[in-house]
Amino acid sequence: MRIRPEEVASLVEARHPCPHDLMGLHSVGKGCVVRAFLRDVAICEVLDVASGRTYAMERLDEKGFFEAVLPKVAPFVHRFKVQSATGHTWEVEDPYRFLPTLGEQDLHFLAIGDDHRFHHKLGSHLKSIDGVAGVAFTVWAPHARRVSVVGDFNQWDGRYHPLRRLGASGIWELFIPGLSAGVRYKYEIIGPENPAPFLKTDPCATYFEQAPHHAAVVCDLSSYTWNDRAWMDARSRRDPVRAPLNVYEVHLGSWRRIPEEGNRPLTYRELGVALSAYCREQGFTHVELLPPAEHPFDGSWGYQVTGYYAPTSRFGSPTDFMAMVDTLHQAGIGVLVDFVPAHFPRDAFALANFDGTHLYEHADPRQGAHQDWGTLIFNFGRHEVRNFLVGAALSWLERFHIDGFRVDAVASMLYLDYSREDGQWIPNAHGGRENLEAITFLRQLNALVHHAAPGTITIAEESTAFPGVTRSVSEGGLGFDLKWNMGWMHDTLDYFKQDPVYRRWHHGKLTFGMLYNWSERFVQAFSHDEVVHGKGSLLTKSPQWDLSGKARNLRALLAFQWAWPGKKTLFMGCEFGQPAEWSHERSLDWHLLGIAEHAGLQHLVRDLNHLVLSDGAMSATDFDPQAFSWIRADDATDSILVFERRAAGVTWIVACNFVPFSRDYRIGVTTAGRWQEALNTDSTHYAGTGEGNLGGVDAEPVSWDSRPFSIPVRLPGLSVVIFRRPS
C-alpha cells in the first residue's frame, strides 16, 4: 500500500483539502498508483483504455476505497471496471484523471474582478474533455475547508465527489464524466470553523427545482434555437433614449390565470403568445418583468433572489423562458427585467454565509444588514462579488436575449446611511455617506451592459436627487439610460387624489416637476408599488364616489402621464382601471372589460400608446428642453394646465381641465391653420360624454398667451385634450 491509513481516512471521511493529490493516477518511482473511492462496489479493476488490459485493485476500506500499484511508467488513459455484490458489472470514468477546466489566466481575472465571462466559468457546464462527456462544477468558496458536489448521482453523499481547490483563488472545481442535463445537485461545504457540513445551492446555476428543496439542475441552454435575429440586429442600431418607450410592467404569475385548471398561472410559452398579442394591440413597445430570477418566496414578488442566473422554474424551464422572449421579439416587443443587486435574502440554502463566512455580504450589520427588508447587502468592495453580479446581468443578455434592466432600489445602494439612524452606519473612507464601492459597481454594470449589447436599456429606480444618474460613466455619472421619476409620480398622484374643489390649492404639484425635469432622463412610472400595501388601485385613488367619475379622473391622469415629456411605464391592470389592489396570488380582473368604463380606459391607453408610436419623432425630444413650452401654467383658479410639445414634423398642444366642469377656453398658438383633436379623454369611445371639438379647430388671428394666433376650444370636465398639427 502506497497511501497511509490516515490519508485513506481523510478521503473516506471527506476531510482532505485536495483529493486530486491522492485520487486518480500518479507516477510513483518506476511505476504508478491508481486510487478510487466508489460506493456500492464489491470489486474494482483499473482498465487501460488503449490496450483493454485490466489490473486488480486492493480494497483498503470497506466503504469502497481501492488502490492499485502498477508497473507502468508512462501515464495512460484509464477507467474503472467495477462489479457490485450482486455480480452486475459496468465501467466508470475517473473524475480525478482530468485536468482543471480553468487555467491560471481564468483564475487571475476572476480574482481581480475583470472576467466579464463569469457565467461561462462558474456554475455547472456540460463539457466534453478528451472525448468524454460530463459536467464541470466550479464554485467560489475561499474559506471552505472542503467542498463536494452532491446529487442524485452519488446519493447526496459528500464523500464521493470532493472538489479540488485551485490555488489561492478560492475556486473549487471538478469535472464529473458521465453526467448530463437534468441532474440535480448542491454543494456540501465544510466551513473554516464548524466541522459539520452544510448544503448550499449553486449561486450560478441556470435552473432550480422548486421549493422546498431548491437543488440546482444541470441545464443544456444550447438546445434552444433562436428566431429573433431581425429584432436583435435592429436593437443594436436603435437609440433607446430617442425611440418610443411604452413599458407594460408585468408580474408573470398573476397577469392571467386559467381558472378551469385550478387557477394555474400561464407557462412561459403561453405567456409569450398571449403577452405579445396583447402588447401589440395595446401599443406597448416593451414588457418589464418583475424579477423573473429564481426566488423561494412568492410573496416577495421576485425581489428576494436566490438564483441570480436562473429564470424561476415556476413557469417552465430556461428554454421555455427563451421561447417566451423569442416570441415577444418576433412580435416586435422588447423584454426588460427587474434586476436586484441591492440585497439578497438570508435563506440558509443560498448566498448567506455561503462558505461558513460572510462571503457575499458584509460581516458588520451596519453595512451588511438591510434595515427595511430584513435582507443582506452585497459587499461591493469585493472584486468577486461585483464580478458575480455583473456576470449575472451579462448572462441574461447573452443567454436569454434580454433587452435591458430596471435596477431595483438604487437609492439604498448609493447611501451608507439609507434608512439608518446615527450610529447605525459606517462612513466611507472620506467620512461621507456615499457608498463608493456600490457606485463603482453601478458604473461598471452600466458600462459593460452597454458595451456587451448595444441598444439595451438600463433604468434606475432611484428616489433621491443623487446627481448624474443618467449621465454617462465617461462624464462621471452612473451610466443609466433612464431614471424613474419618483418625485413626479408622488406629486401627480397626490394631486389627483384631491377633491377637485381643492385642487386649485395644489396646482404647484403639477408644475413643480418641470423645474427639475431636464436634470435627468426620466421615465414617468405608475408601478406595482403604487397599487399594493393598502394604497388601493389607481382607480380607487380618485376621490369621486361613482365609477363614471373615477374613470374620468383616471383617464385624465393617464393622458397627463403620456403627454408629459419622458418615457412611460404602467403596471398591469392599471390600463383598464382594476378597482382591487393587485395581489400576486390571483389573476387580474379581466372580466371587468365587459363594463364600459373599464373597456374605455383600456382603449384610451391603447390610443395614447399608438399616438406616441405614430408621432415617433416626439419621443426623440423627450429630453430636449427646447421642445417644451408652458402656454398656461398659472391658471390654478380654474385648475387648467396647457403646454406645448414640439418635434420634427409635428406639434402637440396639451390642454388639461382637472375639475368636473366644462369650459370654453382660448389657447395661444404660433401656427395658423387647422389643429386636429388627436385625443380627447372624454370621447364616447372611452365611455366619456362625447363633449369636445368636433375633430379639430381652426386657429384665428387673435393674439393670445403672447402668441400671434389662438384656438377657441371646448375643454370637457376632468379631461385632457391633445391638439395636433403637422409642422
| pLDDT tens digits for range 631-661 | 999 999 999 999 999 999 999 999 999 999 9
Q: What angle do CA 365, 369, 372 make, to 5 degrees?
A: 135
Tell me the CA distances in angstroms from 49 to 52, 54, 78, 174, one per residue in order. Answer: 5, 9, 5, 22
Label residue 474 exposed, middle or buried (CB < 10 Å: 0-12, 13-18, 19+).
exposed
Q: Which of 28-32, 86-90, 128-132, 558-562 has the highest mean pLDDT?
A: 558-562
- Measure the CA–CA gap between 581 and 539, rounded to whole angstroms: 10
The answer on pLDDT for 629 being more than 90 is yes
Q: Across residues 275-287, what is the average pLDDT?
A: 98
- Measure the CA–CA gap between 90 and 408, rounded to whole angstroms: 52
- The whole-number pLDDT of residue 15 equals 83
CATH 2.60.40.10 fits 624-726, yes or no: no
List the chain domain ranges: 5-97, 104-219, 624-726
On whether the CB atoms of residues 436 and 415 are closer than 8 A, the answer is no
Q: What angle do CA 135, 138, 140 make, to 5 degrees?
A: 165
Percentage of the residues of the chain whose pLDDT score is greater than 90: 87
* Full DSSP string of 568-632: EEEETTGGGT--SPP-TTS---GGGGGSHHHHHHHHHHHHHHHHHHHTHHHHHTTT-GGGEEEEE
First to last CA, the chain: 93
Torsions phi, psi of 391, nearest 5?
-60, -35
408 is catalytic: yes
pLDDT in tens, 10-26: 888 888 878 889 999 99
- The whole-number pLDDT of residue 114 equals 67
- The whole-number pLDDT of residue 371 equals 85
Label residue 89 exposed, middle or buried (CB < 10 Å: 0-12, 13-18, 19+).
exposed
CA-wise closest residue to 652 among 578, 599, 716, 711? 711
Omega before 212 cis (within 30°)?
Answer: yes
Matching residue, cell 489561492: 168
The answer on pLDDT for 1 being more than 60 is no
Tell me the CA distances in angstroms from 373 to 293, 304, 331, 346, one per residue in order. Answer: 18, 9, 38, 11
pLDDT in tens, 422-466: 889 999 999 999 999 999 999 999 999 999 999 999 999 999 999
Query: What single-letter DSSP state applies at residue 209?
Result: P
**Residues 6 or more apart in contact with residue 234 via CB below 8 angstroms:** none
pLDDT in tens, 653-706: 999 999 999 999 999 999 999 999 999 999 999 999 999 999 999 999 999 999
Radius of gyration of the chain (CA): 31
On whether the CB atoms of residues 121 and 115 are closer than 8 A, the answer is yes
C-alpha cell at 553: 379622473
pLDDT in tens, 586-610: 999 999 999 999 999 999 999 999 9
C-alpha cell at 461: 429606480
**Residues 6 or more apart in contact with residue 13 via CB below 8 angstroms:** 159
pTM: 0.95
**Residues 6 or more apart in contact with residue 10 via CB below 8 angstroms:** 16
> Given 461, 530, 575, 622, which residue is catalytic?
461
Q: Which CATH class is domain 5-97?
A: mainly beta
Q: Across residues 488-516, what is the average pLDDT?
A: 97
CA 484 centroid distance within chain:
16
* Full DSSP string of 459-473: EE---S--TTTTS-G
Torsions phi, psi of 294, nearest 5?
-65, 135
- Measure the CA–CA gap between 680 and 692, rounded to whole angstroms: 7
- Measure the CA–CA gap between 206 and 498, rounded to whole angstroms: 48
- Measure the CA–CA gap between 428 and 426, rounded to whole angstroms: 7
Residues paired with 127 in a beta bridge: 134
Residue 213 host element (H or E):
none
E strands present in 397-539: 404-407, 457-460, 482-484, 522-526
- Measure the CA–CA gap between 705 and 123, rounded to whole angstroms: 65
- Measure the CA–CA gap between 605 and 504, rounded to whole angstroms: 27
pLDDT in tens, 188-245: 999 998 889 999 999 999 999 988 889 999 999 999 999 999 999 999 999 999 999 9
Q: Across residues 53-74, what is the average pLDDT?
A: 89
62 is catalytic: no
- The whole-number pLDDT of residue 16 equals 84
Confirm whether 5-97 and 104-219 share one CATH topology.
yes
> Given 249, 338, 408, 491, which residue is catalytic?
408
CATH topology of domain 104-219: Immunoglobulin-like (2.60.40)
